[in-house]
Chain A
Amino acid sequence: ELKVEQNPLFLSMQEGKNYTIYCNYSTTSDRLYWYRQDPGKSLESLFVLLSNGAVKQEGRLMASLDTKARLSTLHITAAVHDLSATYFCAVEPGGSNYKLTFGKGTLLTVNP
């Protein structure tokens, strides 16, 4: 059974600070996804990481993937209040045809 573990589950940080969210998974994966969910809203796709060493950046968020360590990170640079949301990683095992297994999510609160 594929397990996807995120940590931390709760993160409170000050504006301007940097932090990293970690996503570990237990089996070989074709793809790893990061999503954002605002309260009461649906999921928004942020990044898709397809290969070992992949790095993607959008604004203050940067995601990376190490398939050998089965680890992905979501790094937040100089956080701003607008980044407050819940962030999920999700893994698509090889051959699963888009069936995603999600981590528990990280509730990020950025304080002014």
Chain B
Amino acid sequence: SAVISQKPSRDICQRGTSLTIQCQVDSQVTMMFWYRQQPGQSLTLIATANQGSEATYESGFVIDKFPISRPNLTFSTLTVSNMSPEDSSIYLCSVEEGPGGYFGPGTRLLVL
């Protein structure tokens, strides 16, 4: 199994600012994924982050808005840039280890 931690667990931010979310895994993994869960909604994949290469973004998500770093096999960051209230969501990282993968506890973001 993999244990995933995220920082911060929650934050309240002003529009126009940026927030960087950290995801730490207790084992080395090849692929890490970032998802967004808007209030009362399902999860939507933002991007896939592989160590040593650029992140791959899904339709509707762009690097300028959600830059991602993956400096090593246990860590990744997602930045939510130039935030607006529409960015208020839960952001979760996930790894593919094991059946169904593992999800972090999420970062609850509220943009005012």
Contact = CB atoms under 8 A, between A and B. Distances in A.
Interface stretch (B12-20, B43-51, B63-71, B76-84): B43-51
Interface string A71-112: 000000000000000001010000001111111110000000
A43 to B, nearest CB: 4
Contacts of B100: 33, 35, 45-48
Q: How large is the interface on B (under 10, 10 to 19, 20 to 34, 35 or more residues)?
A: 20 to 34
Interface of B: 31, 33, 41-45, 48, 58, 92, 96, 98-106
A104 B100 CA distance: 17
Interface of A: 33, 35, 41-43, 45-48, 88, 90, 97-105
A98 B100 CA distance: 9
A107 to B, nearest CB: 9
Contact of A42 (B96, B99, B106): B106
B43 A45 contact: no
Contacts of A90: 43
Contact of B96 (A46, A47, A98): A98
B104 A99 contact: no
